[in-house]
Amino acid sequence: MTSGDDTAYFHRLATGTFRATDHVGGAWDTATQHVAPALGLMVHAVEADRVGRRDDPALVARVSFDILGTMPVDVVEIAVQVLRPGRTIELVEARLRHAGRDVVRLRAWLLQPGETDQLAGTALPPIPGPDDHPRWDGTTLWPGGFIASVDVRRHLHEPGRGTFWVRPRVPLLADEDVSALAATFGTVDIANGMVVRADPGQVAFPNVDLTAHVLRPPSGGWVGFDTTVSFGVGGLGITSTVLHDVDGPVGTMSQALTVRPVSPASASR
């Protein structure tokens, strides 16, 4: 049930039901979804649920995704529930399902806003802006509709270390506004593949999770990444990132990798 419609990554079919388009085609396997847009869609669902329940703009402080498997470019469903209700702090869970099977589970901490403008600050260093990074065509390394759908500006310091900026050419959801936060989360899973340590034709290193802590709401548009990819012993790896918008750091993110020196046919989870 794929769609050639080029207007967005997803189209809403009903409450909680969405159809993926060819723009979500994956990098490890083009017949399955790159999970990045789906993560943004889940954050959008969490924000929509919050608006329907609360009369204050509770802020997303942390989002953690467990990626349970792959899914085809097809119809998916998202359901949201509150695990720990509270006026100042609450824990929310969202589940993304395909054909009755959980594919991604999200847990997010939402916090009541506070007046901390006079205290705001960080020692996390800024990175040069998108205009100071050369254009890079990610399709020279990765196949799939998602990689082809984004503009990338990248400076590779060495294998596994670099800075880059990403901006999608299409919206997350057709005919529906999404927040800058949801749009940002629709890109962040790309981090693992932009400054690779090893040729993905020789070594598979998909991530099994993604956890991000948010320092402030992003402004939208370009999303900046200051990323390091590390491989350890025993098939373990970590992709670590400081996330940016054009005004500076907005949070941190990590992805746990399963590193597999294997044939391309066994690169999927």
pLDDT per residue as tens digits for the range 193-211: 999 999 999 999 999 999 9
Residue 4 lies in a domain: no
Residue 198 in any domain: the answer is: yes
At 125-177, the pLDDT tens digits run 999 999 999 999 999 999 999 999 999 999 999 999 999 999 999 999 999 99
In a domain, 200, yes or no: yes
Domain that holds residue 191: 10-112+131-266
- Distance between CA atoms of 35 and 141, rounded to whole angstroms? 18
Question: What does the block give as tokens for 180?
Answer: 């800058």
> Residue 265's pLDDT band (boundaries 50, 70, 90)?
low
Does 126 fall in a domain?
A: no
What CA–CA distances, in Å, run from 106 to 79, 178, 233, 256?
A: 10, 18, 28, 15
Query: Does 122 map to a domain?
Result: no
Residue 145 within a domain: yes
121 part of a folded domain? no
Q: Taking all residues of the chain, what is their mean pLDDT, rounded to a whole number?
A: 94
Three-state DSSP at 181 gives helix
pLDDT of residue 46 exceeding 60, the answer is yes
pLDDT band at residue 267 under the 50/70/90 scheme: very low
In a domain, 119, yes or no: no
pTM as predicted: 0.94
CATH number of the domain residue 154 falls in: 2.40.160.210
Q: How far apart are CA 159 and CA 157, in angstroms?
A: 7
Which pLDDT score, from 0 to 100, does residue 269 have? 47
Domain tally for the chain? 1
